[in-house]
């Protein structure tokens, strides 16, 4: 089901990094594809992380492109600003926008990839015919807002559903999973059709460069080619 069966993208989440030494932590994941930056506003989710000033500095020093995951309310107002900062990919939550298609088009106009995220309780059905409007769909495999949660294997039917719709549309859209991804779970998600993987503690607990290589190898070993 993957649109790209030769490469699986690893996006380490700096939510698990040492915030005091963020520049060096970014350099430790230079062999990853993107750096996943979780923006939480203490409103859409009950946690607070990075805001625009910090993101601007991350953008300035990161050796790899930024994959923004906006866990914020009023995405219609705030999401385009992250594209304007230079982020390569901006993902907003379906639950936080009044018009996901218009927002995705605005992000694309600015020059970033546009992604839409679905919380575990959000049905994918209303978005399946809209997939050509997005460059990526993020299926959350934990409840958004906190790192270190257990992988929700019961989200795999939703991943498969999106993967099948992507194949039906014949589009080059990335399918991302975020939450509880490790060498033990990444294969499950890859077999379901995911091709882009967010991992936090699984990367930063140990040598990040080696962990990224291990995760990529595990994903490739289970890639769904159907």
- Whose tokens are 């460069």? That residue is 209
- Please state, in angstroms and rounded to a whole number, the distance separating the CA atoms of residues 47 and 164: 33
Torsion of CA 123, 126, 128, 132, to 10 degrees: -130
- Please state, in angstroms and rounded to a whole number, the distance separating the CA atoms of residues 15 and 51: 13
Q: Tell me the two tokens of residue 170.
A: 């014949």
Q: Tell me the two tokens of residue 72.
A: 């914020």
In 3D space, the residue among 176, 173, 216 whose CA is nearest the CA of residue 32 turns out to be 216
Residues with a known catalytic role: 38, 178
DSSP 13: B
């Amino acid at each position: 089901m993957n649109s790209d069966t030769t490469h699986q993208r690893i996006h380490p989440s700096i939510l698990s990094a040492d915030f005091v030494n963020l520049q060096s932590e970014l350099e430790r994941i230079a062999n990853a594809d993107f750096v996943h930056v979780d923006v939480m506003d203490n409103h859409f989710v009950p946690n607070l992380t990075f805001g625009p000033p910090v993101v601007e500095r991350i953008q300035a020093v990161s050796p790899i492109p930024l994959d923004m995951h906006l866990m914020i309310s009023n995405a219609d107002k705030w999401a385009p600003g992250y594209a304007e900062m230079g982020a390569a990919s901006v993902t907003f939550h379906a639950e936080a926008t009044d018009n996901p298609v218009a927002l995705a088009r605005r992000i694309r106009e600015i020059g970033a990839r546009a992604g839409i995220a679905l919380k575990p309780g959000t049905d994918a059905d209303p978005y399946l015919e809209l997939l050509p409007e997005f460059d990526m769909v993020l299926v959350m495999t934990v409840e958004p807002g906190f790192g270190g949660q257990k992988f929700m294997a019961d989200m795999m039917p939703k991943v498969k559903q999106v993967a099948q719709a992507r194949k039906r549309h014949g589009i080059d859209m990335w399918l991302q999973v975020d939450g509880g991804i490790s060498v033990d779970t990444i294969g499950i998600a890859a077999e379901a059709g995911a091709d882009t993987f967010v991992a936090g503690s699984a990367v930063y607990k140990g040598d990040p460069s080696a962990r990224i290589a291990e995760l990529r190898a595990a994903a490739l070993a289970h890639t769904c080619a159907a």
